[in-house]
Structure 1
Amino acid sequence: MIEVNQLTKRYGDKTAVRELSFTVRPGHVTGFLGPNGAGKTTTLRMLLGLIEPTSGTATISGHSFRRHPRGLHHVGALLDAGDVHGGRSARAHLRALARSNRIPARRVDEVLAEAGLGGAAAGRRVGGYSLGMKQRLGIATALLGDPPVLLFDEPLNGLDPEGVLWVRQLFRKLAAEGRTVLVSSHLMSEMENTADELIVIGRGELIAAESLAEFSARGTAPTVTVRTPDAGALASALSAEGAAVVPYDKETLKVTGIGSDRIGEIAFEHHVLLRELSTQAASLEAAFMELTADSVEYLAGDPR
């Protein structure tokens, strides 16, 4: 289990993380989300003892990571897939880590095969790897000690569709085994397919710590698209029922506050022909954009 309590990190007059508290429990894939500059990587680095907090605590299985002897047995992490000596082969890189952490040598080939880097790929120099292959090696490194806790920072960078599917299935398998899995990512669509729980931060502060379904539901209510040749009459009838109706074009209405079943009934009661009746459910991306809008540090200019 991961526990963060009142964690704060300041760099001079800039506060990267401010009094952040959350818990990540085993048995779930937990997404760690936030806009660029929100403090996600700083938080992960404090969890791993790479940065000293200004105040507060960040513990893994009840202890600071620095107190875990032979850390790869306790925590596996991928922070930067490119942070590997390019002159070494993947096998040599993992063998060195295995020796220093007293991990059986057979485990090296096991994780390389699991990551799709077995055979000739294992003997190639890492400097000749593509970004996707480096990501796979980083994940293999995290798995090396068979740890109960795993941290991943943007693990999908550079992966092809097959690789993305493999990672998605891997994370779910690890969680099903009772491990604690924390994944930092900017890919909302992937988190929607992978995460069970979410930790969302902005400007170093906690915005939400709840299930994926709960967070998505905090965004804009589902919208029903209605297309009809008699949009004016239907808009009046729906408004009378308390719905919020916004004309989209001459024949299309966007309706909130009332479900598609009831809209169909009202149209039938008023003899209005429907050509389309579809619901756009609340999405993680929509909720994320709404709830982090005030926390975005870097805004793009108007493309016009």
Structure 2
Amino acid sequence: MGRVIEANELTKRYGATTAVDRLTFTVRPGHVTGFLGPNGAGKSTTLRVILGLNDPSSGTVTVDGQPFRGRPRGLRHVGALLDAHDVHGGRSARSHLSALAHSNGLPRRRVDEVLEEVGLTTAARRRIGGFSLGMKQRLGIAAALLGDPPVLLFDEPLNGLDPEGVLWVRGLFHRLAAEGRTVLVSSHLMREVEHTAQQLIVIGRGELIAAESLAEFAAHGTRLTVTVRTPEVARLTSVLTKEGAAVRGEADGSCTVTGMGADRIGELAFHSRVLLHELAPRSASLEEAFMGLTADSVEYSAGDAR
């Protein structure tokens, strides 16, 4: 059922700012793909170009082999949640979805079906302006599902959801992917998608950093580090760096050592008569792997070039 999204050397510039820089990736059906990067990395810009809301400066992006822009009754082909706040606050949830259904040639029954699916049936006649952010997110997801499309794009869909809502969304995404749809979920937080996505596309400063499975990405987090506490930080640092280790002081007074195991650190400290209060090896988390790979991009800010 799903269709492939393909970007080839996709670039988008706004004046002197390059928001998306020669991105090449493929999003395939049958699993959830996480689209990750710090704020300002170019994620939202990429989604808007996929949807034809912005033209690329160069390169191409296609859905099922052709640009999405210009397709009649677009909600039958691609459903998207880009901004939960981008709705008319004076309308009711049902009237908002009914207008979308009418403009896309969809049967009216789909309105009630998707309202029930996202848990908004009892709020169907309420004005959207009185909705919480979590309710607006659910309404946005309902709009994306309205045309029963094979391709679905979600930008920061977990914002404002309570824990129950987060679990519901994760389950929904898994089900949609299991049905053979192409599901792309954008976020700036690794922990938001690590329990949802099977594939990852990671960008920073508009450039591709990684395009691989979650398991492959997790391998970046297997770097072993050792936490050390000692009253003789300077002496230990000198001893360890001479042997090729890297030592970083932490705010709590401890040191983080990379490039050397705990056993070897203990041996060198013993022979150098350096007193140790703690020696604790640990593996970096998936979140730390993500932060490490995107560290150079976090400070990037060029307007609102998300």
* 1:31 partner SS: strand
Give the partner amino acid of 2:144.
A
Deviations 1:83-119 (A, max 9, x none): 1111111011111111111211111111111111012
Instruction: Report the CA distance shift for 1:246/1:5 in structure 2 as closer, same or farther (over 3 A).
Output: closer
Rounded to whole Å, the distance in 1 between the matches of 2:113 and 2:281 is 46
Match of 1:92 among 80, 90, 95: 95
Q: Judge conservation of contact 2:158–2:192 (CA < 8 Å) in 1.
A: no
In structure 2, the partner of 1:62 is 65
In structure 2, the partner of 1:18 is 21
Percent sequence identity over aligned pairs: 74
Instruction: Report the CA distance shift for 1:41/1:219 in structure 2 as closer, same or farther (over 3 A).
Output: same
Question: Equivalences for 1:45-84 in 2 at 5 Å?
Answer: 45-84=48-87
Match of 2:42 among 39, 43, 48: 39
1:278 CA displacement: 7.7
* 1:290 partner SS: helix
1:187 CA displacement: 2.3
- Tell me which moved more, 137-146 or 12-21: 12-21
* 1:292 partner SS: helix
* 2:91 partner SS: coil
Rounded to whole Å, the distance in 1 between the matches of 2:41 and 2:17 is 12
1:256 CA displacement: 6.5
Q: Judge conservation of contact 2:8–2:22 (CA < 8 Å) in 1.
A: yes
* 1:66 partner SS: coil
Q: Judge conservation of contact 1:25–1:180 (CA < 8 Å) in 2.
A: yes
Deviations 1:19-69 (A, max 9, x none): 111000111111111112111111100000100111111111111111322
Instruction: Report the CA distance shift for 1:259/1:75 in structure 2 as closer, same or farther (over 3 A).
Output: farther
Match of 2:199 among 197, 200, 210: 197
Taking structure 1 as the reference length, the TM-score comes to 0.81
Instruction: Report the CA distance shift for 1:179/1:255 in structure 2 as closer, same or farther (over 3 A).
Output: same
Q: Judge conservation of contact 2:36–2:189 (CA < 8 Å) in 1.
A: no
Rounded to whole Å, the distance in 1 between the matches of 2:261 and 2:151 is 42
1:255 CA displacement: 7.5
Match of 2:134 among 99, 124, 132: 132
Rounded to whole Å, the distance in 1 between the matches of 2:167 and 2:228 is 35
Give the partner amino acid of 1:36.
N
In structure 2, the partner of 1:9 is 12
In structure 2, the partner of 1:218 is 220
Give the partner amino acid of 1:125.
R
* 2:216 partner SS: helix
Instruction: Report the CA distance shift for 1:83/1:279 in structure 2 as closer, same or farther (over 3 A).
Output: same
Instruction: Show structure 2 runs of 5+ residues with no match.
Output: 230-243, 268-277, 302-306
1:160 CA displacement: 0.7
Give the partner amino acid of 1:6.
E
* 1:36 partner SS: coil
Rounded to whole Å, the distance in 2 between the matches of 1:3 and 1:209 is 12
- Tell me which moved more, 124-133 or 183-192: 183-192
Rounded to whole Å, the distance in 2 between the matches of 1:278 and 1:194 is 31
- Tell me which moved more, 125-134 or 184-193: 184-193
* 1:63 partner SS: coil
Rounded to whole Å, the distance in 1 between the matches of 2:125 and 2:88 is 14
Rounded to whole Å, the distance in 2 between the matches of 1:105 and 1:59 is 30
Q: Judge conservation of contact 2:201–2:210 (CA < 8 Å) in 1.
A: yes
- Tell me which moved more, 282-291 or 47-56: 282-291
* 1:83 partner SS: coil
In structure 1, the partner of 2:32 is 29
Q: Judge conservation of contact 2:137–2:160 (CA < 8 Å) in 1.
A: yes
Rounded to whole Å, the distance in 1 between the matches of 2:101 and 2:199 is 32
In structure 2, the partner of 1:301 is none
* 1:190 partner SS: helix
In structure 2, the partner of 1:238 is none
Rounded to whole Å, the distance in 2 between the matches of 1:222 and 1:97 is 52
Q: Judge conservation of contact 1:31–1:198 (CA < 8 Å) in 2.
A: yes
- Deviation above 2 Å: which 4+ runs of structure 1? 222-227, 242-248, 252-260, 276-284
Matched pairs, number: 294
Rounded to whole Å, the distance in 2 between the matches of 1:60 and 1:170 is 22
